[in-house]
Amino acid sequence: MKKLILLLAILLLPLIFLYGIYRQPIPAYSGDRFVDIPRGSSTLRIGEILAANGLLRSPLQVWLWRALHPRGRFQAGEYRFRQETTLDAILSKIARGDIYYAQLTIPEGSSLFDIARILEQQQILPARDFIAAAQDPALIRDLAPEAPSLEGYLFPSTYRLPRKVSAAYLCQRFTRQFREAWQSLHSARPPHAVVTLASLVEKESAVADERPRIAGLFSNRLRLGMKLECDPTVIYAALVENRYRGAIYKSDLAHPSPYNTYQHAGLPPGPIANPGLESLRAALQPLSTGDIFFVAQPGNSGHHIFSRTLSDHNRAVAAYRRGQKR
């Protein structure tokens, strides 16, 4: 009998010891803890990583958890821990693959300079790194060889991103989304001229239902050989040369930049912003209209007054100026 009791004790003591390790509370922590689980990590290695980051008392806790959850399969990725206070909460998160992603929203009409500023503000990466990548010929070549940069092809949308990304990765991610959007339009036309026109439409249209009409107006001016005289192109010309001062001056209108549509007829050499799907669609299917001129309506409604003759346009401009004074 004594031998039996001794044998049971010998068998139970290791189990009691292991159970004690399993039940150890996790260390107290505050703030966010980001932990990267590399692909191919063993169970014990995951335990070592979590312990090194102050989330477990012992690496063995992971092995014991797996023994009690044989169907659990840990997934590689980066995880954020902030409110998990138990072993089960921490390890279940990794087993679920609840990987951390940052959310990044690129509004329609953002230029690559706007995107760079957003990335820096959200501490994703420095603005200069993204601008350099967006102007890298190696990244441009496969998408639009005639383009001066990836401007226009960095598709505006909401993205879920890993916390650590490179500028090249972001450019590839944004342009991949553009390719998908372009394919959805089922157009056989080369994209560059369409995207360039769509970028002008995007910047000039504060009201969505005016996009096809503005596209039709610009198409008329291009057909007639008239200068587009689009203010956003003047601003973009100043941005490219790092001389934008927050407003358009006479010197900007007179500047010989190829982007300045007050100085040069036809489309600029490339897009001036990243248009959304509806502006791309408007550029592909502009409204058939006789409009040649347009000016904003008084009152900052976002709507425009469209005209077919210069005399009508001059009256609309005078009405706009009177409205602004009031």
Nearest partner of 125 among 75, 167, 85, 159, judged by Cα: 167
Q: Give the pLDDT confidence score for residue 12 in this predicted structure.
A: 45
* Dihedral sign from CA coordinates of 263, 270, 233, 307: positive
Q: Are strands 77-81 and 33-37 parallel, antiparallel or unpaired?
A: antiparallel
Rounded Cα distance, 125 and 24, in Å: 39
Q: How far is CA 109 from CA 63, 203, 232, 274, in A?
A: 51, 6, 11, 5
Q: Give the pLDDT confidence score for residue 254 in this predicted structure.
A: 94
Would the pLDDT of 210 be above 50? yes
What average pLDDT score do residues 26-39 get?
A: 87
Q: Tens digits of per-residue pLDDT, 160-206?
A: 998 889 999 999 999 999 999 999 999 999 999 999 999 999 999 98
Q: Tens digits of per-residue pLDDT, 71-115?
A: 888 999 999 998 888 888 899 999 999 999 989 999 999 999 999
Rounded Cα distance, 132 and 114, in Å: 14
Rounded Cα distance, 320 and 144, in Å: 40
Q: Please state the separation of Cα 19 from the chain's center in Å.
A: 47
Total-model pTM: 0.82
Contact present, 56 and 76 (Cβ < 8 Å): no
Opening angle at CA 296, ends 291 and 300, nearest 5: 150
Which domains occur in the chain, in start order? 2-96 (no CATH), 102-184 (3.30.1490), 191-325 (no CATH)
Confidence of residue 17 (pLDDT cuts 50, 70, 90): very low
Q: How far is CA 163 from CA 84, 108, 109, 157, in A?
A: 20, 23, 25, 18
What average pLDDT score do residues 263-274 get?
A: 96
Would the pLDDT of 146 be above 50? yes
Rounded Cα distance, 98 and 261, in Å: 49
Read out DSSP for 9-58?
A: HHHHHHHHHHHHHHHPPPPP--S-EEEEE-TT--HHHHHHHHHHTTS-S-
Rounded Cα distance, 248 and 9, in Å: 87
194 burial via Cβ count (<10 Å: 0-12, 13-18, 19+): buried
* Dihedral sign from CA coordinates of 93, 96, 101, 106: negative
- List, in order, residues 6 or more apart from 195 with CB less than 8 Å away: 144, 152, 153, 271, 275, 280, 283
Q: 142: which DSSP letter?
A: T
As beta bridge partners, residue 79 has: 35
